[in-house]
Structure 1
Amino acid sequence: MARHRWTPDNIPDLRGRTAIVTGASSGLGIVEARELARAGAHVVLAVRNADKGRKVAAELPGSTEVRRLDLSSLASIRSFADDWSVDLDILINNAGIMLVPEGRTVDGFELQMGTNYLGAFALTNLLLPYVRDASTSRVVSMSSQLHIGGKIKLDNVDGTKGKYNALQAYRDSQLATVYFTAELQRRLEAAGSGIRAITAHPGIARTSLNDHVTGVRKMFFLATLWMFNDADHGAYPALYAATADVPGGSYVGPDGMGHLRGNPEIHRPGLAARDPELGPELWNVSARLTNTDFATV
C-alpha cells in the first residue's frame, strides 16, 4: 500500500481561527497565508512593506488583513504586539533573511541573528498571552537544515563579536531557532499549556530568500535547482506543523533524500541541536537581550 503523503488538501476546516504569518509578502509566506485562508482562517500578513503586503493580500482567498512588522526592530515588534487584542490560534514565524552583507539591526544585533532568531523570539513571547490554550494552537518557527553547522556562543548570542561570516551567521541563527522551539515547548508543558511549539524547515526551496547568494554558491544553487522544492512544497512543512496532529517539540521537514525536497514528515534535528542544557541558557540570554520572556494567560 502506498504511503499517504500530506498536502494542503488535508488541512482541516479553520473557520473561526486566527493566524499570523510573518514575512507573508513573498516566497513561502505567501503560500502559507494562502492555504490557511483557503481553509477558512482569518490570516494576518505581518510584513515589513505594507504596500507589498496589501498587493499580495488582494490576490488571496478568504479573510486576510495586513499589519506592518519589522523583525529587525524591537520597537516595531512591541508596537505590533501592543496593537494585538484578539485570540490567536496559529503563529508562523516565517520571515527571515539569508547570507546578507554584514549589518546590524536597529538594536545593534547582527542582522541575521537579530531578524531570524531574536526578532521571532521577542514576537512570540509578546504574543503568547493571546494564543488560545488548546492542542490546536501552534507556534511554528521556520529553521533550516543548515542549523547542523551552527554554533551557539552564549557570550555572543547577538552575533556582534568576531569576524563576520555570512554563512556561519545564518547557520547560527537557524540553530538558535531550533533550540528556541524546544525550550518553548518545555516551558509550555511545565505551565500545563496545550499550545504546541514546532520547528519546520522547507528543505531547500526556490524562493527570493536566496537572492543575496553570490559567487560560487550562486552558481551551485542555479545548477542544482532541479533538486529543490518549489515554494509551494517548501511551505508544506510549516502548514503541516500548523494544522496537523503533530506533537509539540517536533522538527518537521521534507521526506525526500537528505530532506531537501518532498512532502512533510517528522524527523530529527542535527546533533548540534540536542544539548539539553543549552536551550534554557540560550533562552535566558535571549530574554535579557530582547527584554521579553515567557508568559501565558
Structure 2
Amino acid sequence: MTGWTADRIPDQHGRIAVVTGANSGLGLVTATELARHGAHVVLAVRDTAAGEEAARRIGGDVEVRELDLASLNSVRAFAAKLAADHPAIDLLVNNAGVVLLGPRRTSADGFELQLGTNMLGHFALTGLLLGNLAAARESRVVSLSSITHKNAHLDFDDLMFERDYRAAPAYGRSKLATTIFGVELDRRLRAAGSPIVSALAHPGLTRTNLTPRAWEHRGRFGRLIAWLGLLTTQSVEQGTLPQLRAATEPGVRGGQFFGPSRLWETRGRVIEARLSREAADPAVGKRLWAAAEALTGISYL
C-alpha cells in the first residue's frame, strides 16, 4: 500500500507530546512512533500499571501519568501537574475513547459516559493545557474522530441521551461532538490569532482491542461478526496513520481532517477526509461549545 507512512514523520527531538489512552490500540502505536522519532511522550492513561507496561514496550523517552477523562477532578489534577512540569507542550493527541456495549452509564460528573469521556473530558483537558500549548512553537491539538460521526446527530434537548438510550448511536453522537469540537477549536484559535493548530483524524475501520469485544459477548452470531471484522478491517498500524499525519506532517493547516481513502473511508492510504454537514456547521459548533463550557465549568477562547 503506497502513500503516507510513519517513516515520513520528521525528527521529534525536543518536542513534548501528550497522548491520551496511550497504553493500547491507536494510542499505543501513536506514542510508539512519536517516541521512535525522538519526542518526549507523556502516556496519559487511566490504568497506570498498563501504562508502565506500555512504556516498557515503547522504550525511548516516555513517562506515565494517570488521567481518567471520565472525571473532571482527574482531568484538573493531571493538567495542573503536567502544566507545572512542562511549561511548553508541543502536541496534544486527544486519542482516548470508550465504547459502551450495554445499558447507559454515567461518568463521575453525571455525564453519559461516552460523551463525557470522548468529548467533554478532552474539551476540559485541552482548555486547561492551552497556555502550555501556546508557549510552544508550532504546537498542535489532534482530535480523534470516527466515520460514525457522519450518521450521527446532536440533540441539544437531550445531549446526555437520557431518553431512549442506545449505546451505538450514543457512541456516534460522542464522536460527532468530538469532531465538532476539533473544528470549532480551529475557528476560535484562528479568530484569536493563535499559532496553535487544531487538526482532526479518523482511523476508518481498524482492528483495535475494542473491535472483538464489541461483538464476542453476543454469542455465536457475535463471534462470527468479530471474525468477519478481522478480515474486513485494517491493522492498528495503518489505522493510526491519519492521526500521526495530522500530528506531525509539516504544513498541516488548522481544521484539516485526515482519514483512509477506500471503501467509504474505512481503510486505505491517508487522504484528506470529509466532514459531515453537521460537523462543519459553525452554528452547531458555537452551540456545542457553549454547552461544553457550562457542563465542564471550563471556559477558554
The question of a shared fold, defined as TM-score above 0.5 by the shorter chain, is answered with yes
Taking the TM superposition and a 5 Å limit, the aligned residue runs for 1:194-209 are 194-209=195-210
For each residue in 1:139-190, what CA deviation from the matched residue of structure 2 results, as whole angstroms up to 9, or x when unmatched? 0011100001211122333x14202100110000010011101110011001
Q: How far apart, CA to CA, are the structure 2 residues paired with 1:234 and 1:218? A: 22
Q: How far apart, CA to CA, are the structure 2 residues paired with 1:221 and 1:196? A: 37
Question: RMSD between aligned alpha carbons?
Answer: 1.7
Q: How far apart, CA to CA, are the structure 2 residues paired with 1:213 and 1:272? A: 27
Q: How far apart, CA to CA, are the structure 1 residues paired with 2:89 and 2:136? A: 11
> Which residue type is aligned with residue 57 of structure 1?
A
133-142 vs 236-245, which deviates more?
Answer: 133-142
When the two structures are aligned, how many residues end up with a matched partner? 292
Offset at residue 274 of structure 1 (A): 2.7
2:94 is aligned with 1:93: yes
What's 2:26 paired with?
A: 28
Task: Give the secondary structure class of the aligned counterpart of 2:267.
Answer: coil
Task: Give the secondary structure class of the aligned counterpart of 1:277.
Answer: helix
Taking the TM superposition and a 5 Å limit, the aligned residue runs for 1:233-272 are 233-244=238-249, 245-272=251-278
CA contact (8 A) 1:100 1:112 kept: no
CA contact (8 A) 2:45 2:51 kept: yes
| TM-score (normalised: structure 1) | 0.94
What's 2:180 paired with?
A: 179
Structure 2 unaligned blocks of 5 or more: none
Taking the TM superposition and a 5 Å limit, the aligned residue runs for 1:271-286 are 271-286=277-292
> Which residue type is aligned with residue 104 of structure 1?
T
Equivalent in 69, 79, 85 of residue 77 of structure 2: 79
CA contact (8 A) 2:43 2:64 kept: yes
CA contact (8 A) 1:228 1:261 kept: yes
| TM-score (normalised: structure 2) | 0.92
CA contact (8 A) 1:72 1:115 kept: yes
Q: How far apart, CA to CA, are the structure 1 residues paired with 2:198 and 2:157? A: 26
212-221 vs 167-176, which deviates more?
Answer: 212-221
Offset at residue 53 of structure 1 (A): 0.3
The structure in which a higher percent of residues are helix is 2
Q: How far apart, CA to CA, are the structure 1 residues paired with 2:129 and 2:32? A: 22
Taking the TM superposition and a 5 Å limit, the aligned residue runs for 1:15-164 are 15-84=13-82, 85=84, 86=86, 87-101=88-102, 102-132=104-134, 136-157=138-159, 159-164=160-165
Alpha carbons of structure 1 residues 211 and 292: separation in structure 2 relative to 1, 3 Å? farther
Equivalent in 11, 14, 18 of residue 13 of structure 1: 11
